[in-house]
Structure 1
Amino acid sequence: MPHIVSLESGYYRVPLEAELSDSTHGQMLEFELNTLRVRDADGAEGVGYTFTVGRNGAAIEALLARDFPDLALHEDADRIEHLWQKLWWGLHYGGRGGPTVLALSAFDMALWDLKAKRAKLPLWKLLGGHDPRVPCYAGGIDLDFPLDKLLRQTDDNLGKGFRAIKMKVGRARLAEDVARVKAMREHLGEGFPLMVDANMKWSADEAIRAARAFAPYQPVWLEEPVIPDDVAGHARVVREGGLPVAAGENLRTLWEFKHLIATGGVTYPEPDVTNCGGVTAFIKIAHLAEAFNLPVTSHGAHDVTVQLLAAVPNRSYLEAHGFGLDRYIAEPLKIEEGYALAPDRPGHGIEFDWPGLDAIRA
């Protein structure tokens, strides 16, 4: 049995190439990256990671460096469901979310990477192998960009092969948001896939007004219109706003997704593999969405998530997130005429530049 012999964590502050902004987190100049390398008795290694928008990374590092080895060392690395449950319940009293589930997500991702490498399969094939070509959009973090800069960013993304674009909304005045969405629609043309993301900015009433104002410009979805805790508000926005709703990047468990989906509060469930409980939880959420005949999308960590969406039949769009790791990985995500391509390398396919990361260690 491939017993776990070591866990090696890393904690880094990654500078962004440009200042980014949204309606909730404000201006962002860097993000935090936490990594975990899990090695087994045969010398094989799996890698996992998670990220934050600039806080709590030290708490995640403490969990990965101190608590996880106590629970995981000498366990069979192939018993991923057993290990997930052991870590979940072993850390449950102070967990159920927050840094604990982000740390668990990184650990679980590393286990699946290790398992796929040992099987000599890309992760998307190990998990089901539906279709390696996944529709992909460029997720801009651009609320405070002047309009001309927003349109230049869009043209740059079109030049990179993207055929769907997401922009931020949630400015102080709804009229400003509407004018920017209108300008983006005119720039992209009729029928071009355009998403809008409010980052939890509004009450349900405000979100319904905004959705109705955006409707003439035919966005694919309105993302995170209200806080994740307002499940009833989500359901109202879906019913009364007239637009599909994407949500879930701030949900932390399968059970939170079950509640939001079952109450009719989401059209496009949107898990993030780095904070929902890892690959194990992401795939369960995707299958739960399939049972409700809903398409699943994603948030963040696109280099890993392309593997997960490629595995399931109800995948919709992969988000290519603004917090990209292109500078620190060997082979970044490939985009071809609007599709992200899941690689055929064994595992999840990410090989970090560890010396490069050491230079930005927190």
Structure 2
Amino acid sequence: MARIASLQIGFYRVPLPTLLTDSTHGEMRDFELNTVRVRDADGAEGVGYSFTVGRNGAAVDAVLTREIAEIAAGEDADAIERLWHRCWWDLHYGGRGGPTVLALSAFDIALWDLKARRANLPLWRLLGGFDPKVPCYAGGIDLLLPLDELLAQTDANLAKGFRAIKMKVGRKRLDEDVQRVAAMREHLGAELPLMVDANMKWTVDQAIRAARAFQPHDLTWLEEPISPDDLGGHARVVRDGGLPIAAGENLRTLWDFKNLIASEGVTYPEPDVTNCGGVTAFMKIAHLAEAWNLPVTSHGAHDVTVHLLAACPNRSFLEAHGFGLDSYIADPLRIEEGFAIAPEHPGHGITFDWAGLERIRA
């Protein structure tokens, strides 16, 4: 039994190296990072984290500091399912999503990291193992970049080893989106996968119109075309738009994914391990998608998620973008000829520069 001796909570504001833009969040200059370090009575440590887009990190910090630290004290760190359910139900009345689930996600990631470290296994092997080479794409947050800068960014990503690209859509005029997608397809050639992401910008009818306009450009998927809460709308977009749809980064529970999948409103379920309930929930979502014969993708937190998709036979693409974290991590994600490589270090292998993070403590 690995008794939890302490939780050390961190809250940081991470400056972004470049200004990021999308159709919903506008201009993003920094992200907020919440961390939790779980130590057991033997001195072993596991690390988890979640992030927000510039706001609400203080609420996540409060849940970790005031609630989860108390729930976890003295508990068996190996009883991850029991701890997950205790947090879920103890915090249920004010939870079921939002900051509560982001905090639970960070805690759960730390527990799995600790368990894998104690077993001296990389997380992807502890989770069952499938293939450490995971197809990945470079996720650009680039809606307002001029076309020449967008293509230059793409060339830089190709030089880093990426062989698939995602770009933002959702500009004020659809014809501008179509022109940029056409230019990107011509730039990449016919072989490389290209995805587009609207960040919930459109109504259902607008999304169907956009999907039909993008059809000639052979997209792997159209991501988050409408509000995540409109299950019937998603089904209409899948049925009438003529493109595969990726969605789920703004869903917060296994049951949200069950409802979206059952409504036939998604082609590529897309959980984010830092906001769907952690490793525990992510793997259940991935297996749920497998039961529906759907390929699973991911959002954010690629340094953790590469392990999860490396354990999934139905994985498709890992989304890779660092949100500025690479500057605070010892060994950033390794990309080789279009594949992210799950590391063999025990746990998830993320080693934060804690001294560096202290300089940006929120």
TM above 0.5: yes
Percent identity between the two aligned chains: 77
The Cα of 1:325 is off from its aligned counterpart by: 1.3
Match of 1:318 in 2: 318
Match of 2:92 in 1: 92
Match of 1:8 in 2: 8
Task: Name the SS for the 1:59 alignment partner.
Answer: helix
Structure 2 length-normalised TM? 0.99
Match of 1:161 in 2: 161
Within 5 Å, give how 1:1-362 maps onto structure 2.
1-362=1-362
What code does the residue aligned with 1:63 have?
V
The Cα of 1:204 is off from its aligned counterpart by: 0.7
Deviates more, 1:314-323 or 1:145-154: 314-323
What code does the residue aligned with 1:141 have?
I
The Cα of 1:190 is off from its aligned counterpart by: 1.0
The Cα of 1:191 is off from its aligned counterpart by: 2.5
How many residues align? The count is: 362
Q: Distance in 2 between matches of 1:70 and 1:305?
A: 27
Instruction: Write out per-residue CA displacement over residues 286-342 of structure 1, whole angstroms, 9 at most, x where no aligned residue.
Output: 000000000000000000000000001000000002514110011000000000000
Q: Distance in 2 between matches of 1:140 and 1:180?
A: 13
Q: Distance in 1 between matches of 2:144 and 2:231?
A: 28
Task: Name the SS for the 2:345 alignment partner.
Answer: coil
Q: Distance in 2 between matches of 1:162 and 1:208?
A: 29
Structure 1 length-normalised TM? 0.99
Structure 1: tracts of 5 or more residues without a match: none
Deviates more, 1:324-333 or 1:241-250: 324-333
Contact 2:15 2:324 in 1 (8 A): no
Task: Name the SS for the 1:200 alignment partner.
Answer: coil
Q: CA RMSD in A?
A: 0.5
Task: Name the SS for the 2:76 alignment partner.
Answer: coil
Contact 2:109 2:279 in 1 (8 A): yes
Instruction: Write out per-residue CA displacement over residues 169-192 of structure 1, whole angstroms, 9 at most, x where no aligned residue.
Output: 000000000000000001011131
Distance 1:268 1:324, change over 3 A: farther
Task: Name the SS for the 2:192 alignment partner.
Answer: coil
Contact 2:302 2:322 in 1 (8 A): no
Q: Distance in 2 between matches of 1:264 and 1:173?
A: 29
Q: Distance in 1 between matches of 2:124 and 2:14?
A: 27
Task: Name the SS for the 2:219 alignment partner.
Answer: coil
Contact 1:299 1:321 in 2 (8 A): no
Contact 1:221 1:245 in 2 (8 A): yes
